[in-house]
Amino acid sequence: MSVVEMGQRLGLRKTTAYWLVHKGCFKTVLVQGIMRVDIESFEHWYANQTKHRKVDGTPPGEALRAYSYSVQEIAELLAVSDYVIYTLIQRHQLETFEVDTRMRVRKDVFEKWYQSQTKYRTEEDRKRDAELESSSMTMPQMARLLGITRDEVYLILGKKRNRGVFDIVVVGDKKRVTYESFENWYRNQSRYQKVTGKISGLQEELKKAEDSACKTLLDSERTSFTPSEAAILIGVPQRDVYRMIEEGILDSFTIGKMIRIRRASLEWWLSYQGEVFRREEK
């Protein structure tokens, strides 16, 4: 095809089309003194770049995406910001390469790093994690449930007689205790009691209103909530939600700069801790 035809395929001006030729992006031949672009080499170039797109809508970079990720693709995969990915690349010295001045990471390099950690998760693994989260609690949650410190929780878990009693799972770089193993332990001891609190008449009315809001939110198919929505769900001030995130009581993740709290974590709180923050503080 002629250089002009190549430019038309990409929706480029004549000068930009010739610029690609002079950059050596694809092979050219002279036919009766007129420069023409080798179609096979053009398609190979097109499949290995993402900057230019054909006007017919055929997506570029098919071959490139088959063996590598862009920073933006990894960020979307892990539900984090681009900045986090650039930081991870630098911190872990992940091998990268550039295509049209844009950084990319080979998929085998990414997979090797991904399998070496548990903090960052893909959507598929987040779904599996959600199943584990729905059947387990964090150490701070166990501490809250029993009204003790986290140090005491670790002492309980570390006691010789409790070895093999608690089932520990790791989700998002955090160790968790399964509810089933906790309840088995709880039934066979008498020293610790779950925390409960009495709710005054006014607080009972507030709880009913909150329960109505909770039902509206939890009846949806959403898997995560904002801090303000979480505050409504568990009936506490929003500042307490942020504090519980910092202490690891509520499991959260970020999408860009937005904090999201996992549904399973809030459902656990509603089931086991809903009354703790509603106690009269005297």
Res 65 pLDDT > 90: yes
Q: What pLDDT, in 10s, does the model give residues 214-232?
A: 555 555 667 788 888 888 7
Contact criterion met (CB below 8 Å) for 118 and 126: no
pLDDT at 232: 77
Max mean pLDDT range (5-19, 221-235, 256-270) = 5-19
- N residues, the chain: 282
pLDDT at 274: 44
- List Cβ neighbours of 273 (8 Å cut-off, separation of 6 or more): 141, 144, 145, 195, 234
Res 201 pLDDT > 70: no
The residue ranking higher by pLDDT, 213 or 43, is 43
Q: How many Å apart are CA 223 and CA 128, to the nearest integer?
A: 13
Res 48 pLDDT > 90: yes
Q: 277 pLDDT band (50/70/90 cuts)?
A: very low
pLDDT at 196: 58
Q: What pLDDT, in 10s, does the model give residues 179-194?
A: 999 999 999 998 898 8
pLDDT at 11: 93
The residue ranking higher by pLDDT, 212 or 255, is 255
pLDDT at 205: 44
Determine the average pLDDT of the residues in 240-255.
84
pLDDT at 105: 96
Q: How many Å apart are CA 278 and CA 282, to the nearest integer?
A: 12
Residue type, 280: E
DSSP 148: -
Look at residue 241 and give its three-state secondary structure: helix
% of the chain beyond a pLDDT of 90? 40
- CA distances to 8, 46, 58, 196 from 12, rounded to whole Å, are 6, 14, 15, 70
Give the DSSP letter string of 78-132.
HT--HHHHHHHHHHTT---EEETTEEEEEHHHHHHHHHT-SSS--HHHHHHHHHH
- CA distances to 127, 217, 234, 239, 247 from 275, rounded to whole Å, are 29, 19, 9, 18, 19
Res 212 pLDDT > 60: no
Contact criterion met (CB below 8 Å) for 251 and 173: no
Backbone dihedral region for residue 145 (phi beyond 0: left; psi -120 to 50: alpha; all else: beta):
alpha
Mean pLDDT of the chain: 83
Q: 35 pLDDT band (50/70/90 cuts)?
A: very high
- Nearest Cα to Cα of residue 141 among 250, 278, 229, 271: 250
